[in-house]
Amino acid sequence: MIDLRSDTVTRPSAAMRKAMMEADVGDDVFGEDPTVNRLQEAAAELLGKEAALFTPSGVMANQIGIRCNTEAGDEIIVERDSHILNYETAAPALISGVQILPVAGERGILKLAAIEAAVRPTVYYLPRTSLICLENTHNRAGGTIFPLDEMKRISVFAVEKDIRVHLDGARLWHAWVATGIHPREYGNLVDSVSVCFSKGLGAPVGSLLAGSKVLIEKARKIRKVLGGGMRQAGILAAAALYALEHNVTRLKEDHENARAFCDALEGVKGIKVRKENVETNMVLVDISGTGKKSGEVLARLKSAGVLLIDVSPTVLRSVMHMDVSHADVLKAAEIIKRTIAQ
């Protein structure tokens, strides 16, 4: 089975498992796990922040970031197809008591003009716009990279309006490899940023939130409230450190495989792919020309040995990752072509 559903399906390598086994550990709730501390310090430096906090998941990192930057009754602006809105189970309302205002972006990218139009006037009967959430790279848009210049404009506007900015950077590593722009340049433009180690970097578990010392001190308490305080978490942090040290530059291979996959599917009757939109490790496959819905096509592909997921009734998403080779990617494309032809 060739699994292109997500880069979360990767399994830790033998070398990563060895690093986990040999990790120096302590009680992280007491702040005494040396490996967790080393990871947090290294990530904070990478992201241009004063401090960082290791979390079990990206959802938790995002939700702690939202909670730290808002008050109950506030409104937060998110892109309409963002992960925070679509895949985090209404957590901003449940955890932070905030209202979400979805704003349409362009291939997942929120433009300053759209944000300006969405910010609430200062009137007592309207919610306060307290936070703008951005996503880089953008999941449902197919791995789109957020333009740094646009983020700079948003950052300047947010400072002027006393609005905070959170970056969901679960796949920020992909943007770094694809553009050469260091994560610090993105991190310097926001108040908080989350990153994930268990997607393209291949760690089994773990994400992280970075921000100011004050924000992270608050975040530590919220993590405890949410049940995210772990004990000898250095076993997991060791995998994340290994991933940072060994698996970032290889993301280029996933990007190349995504373009090869797209090339192999171009011109196939019944489906559409756009190579100009393939910026990182994802390819969106429009199957509307087949007259079939996603569920039926996904079932046929599964029977033929390929796993994808749907992002709409007529669009499938494929994700390249370290557990699929170039040959796997080309084989998957051939299976898709045969399946569509049938």
Nearest to residue 66, comparing CAs of 145, 197, 168?
168
213-224: per-residue pLDDT in tens? Answer: 999 999 999 999
Up-side HSE of residue 331: CA atoms within 13 Å toward CB?
13
Nearest by Cα to 139 from 46, 251, 286, 7: 7
Cβ pair 33, 25 in contact under 8 A: yes
- Paired tokens of 229: 């305080």
Distance CA 40, CA 31 (A): 11
Could you say which residues of the chain have pLDDT below 50? Answer: none
The residue behind tokens 């008591």 is 97
Check: CB of residue 101 under 8 Å from CB of residue 136. Answer: no
Distance CA 259, CA 150 (A): 25
Q: How far apart are CA 267 and CA 44, in angstroms?
A: 45
Q: Which residues contact 290 (CB under 8 A, 6 or more apart)?
A: 270, 271, 297, 340
Strand partners of residue 248: none
**Phi, psi values for residue 53, rounded to 5°:** -140, 125
pLDDT value for 341? 84
Q: Which CATH class is domain 250-341?
A: alpha beta
Given this model, what pLDDT does residue 258 score? 98
Residues of the chain with CATH 3.40.640.10: 8-246
Within the chain, all domains assigned CATH 3.90.1150.10 are found at 250-341
Of 93, 55, 90, 317, whose CA–CA distance to 193 is shortest? 55
* Alpha carbons 223 and 232: distance in angstroms, whole number: 16
Fold exhibited by the domain 8-246 = Aspartate Aminotransferase; domain 2 (3.40.640)
Give the model confidence (pLDDT) of 291-320 as tens digits.
999 999 999 999 999 999 999 999 999 999
In whole angstroms, what is the distance from residue 179 CA to residue 164 CA?
25
- Length of the chain measured in residues: 342
Instruction: Tell me which residue of 167, 157, 158 sits closest to 137, measured CA to CA.
Output: 167
> Residue 286: its pLDDT value, please?
96
